[in-house]
């Protein structure tokens, strides 16, 4: 079955770079049409889509955050990595990764459990 799990630091300091890893199983990012997205949710607030990486290494970013985000994949390890630079307390959120079964038209069908990242000095 499809599973995804986010990992990374629970606490980062302002101005630091956050690196999160999504480790998945049950599918391969080398499969044509497959992709993975990152989403976040500040405490008590709405969901926010962040980035997507496709099987063919195409990458897409939130317009408001694209200067701070980098998404990459390691197909051999079944991992997707998201880095976010210059962290600020407003970036405190639960960060989720999710699968998209077909980049050309599907949405987020499987989600990880999320990882809470707090930005504080």
Partner 1 sequence: DIQMTQSPSAMSASVGDRVTITCRASQGISNYLAWFQQKPGKVPKRLIYAASSLQSGVPSRFSGSGSGTEFTLTISSLQPEDFATYYCLQHNSYPPFTFGPGTKVDIK
x/- map, 18-47, partner 1, by CB under 8 A:
-------------------x-x------xx
Q: Taking CB under 8 A as the criterion, which residues in 46-85 touch partner 1?
A: 46-49, 52, 60-63
Closest residue by Cα to residue 28 from 72, 98, 75: 75
Looking at the chain, how many residues does it have? 121
When asked if residue 107 is in the footprint of partner 1 (CB under 8 A), the reply is: yes
Helix H segments across 60-107? none
Exactly one of 28, 72, 85, 113 binds partner 1 (CB under 8 A); which one?
A: 113
Contacts of 62 (CB under 8 A, 6+ apart): 48, 49, 50, 51, 69
When asked if residue 88 is in the footprint of partner 1 (CB under 8 A), the reply is: no
Hey, which residues does 119 pair with through a beta bridge?
Answer: 12
Residues that bind partner 1 (CB under 8 A): 37, 39, 46-49, 52, 60-63, 96, 100, 104-109, 111-114
């Amino acid at each position: 079955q499809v599973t995804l799990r986010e990992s990374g630091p629970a606490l980062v300091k302002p101005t630091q770079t956050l690196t999160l890893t999504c480790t998945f199983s049950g599918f391969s990012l080398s499969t044509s049409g497959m992709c993975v997205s990152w989403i976040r949710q500040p405490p008590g607030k709405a969901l926010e889509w962040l980035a997507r990486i496709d099987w063919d290494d195409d990458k897409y970013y939130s317009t408001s955050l694209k200067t701070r985000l980098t998404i990459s994949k390691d197909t051999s390890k079944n991992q997707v990595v998201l880095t976010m630079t210059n962290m600020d307390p407003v970036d405190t959120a639960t960060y989720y990764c999710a699968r998209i079964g077909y980049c050309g038209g599907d949405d987020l069908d499987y989600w990880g459990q999320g990882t809470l990242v707090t930005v504080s000095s």
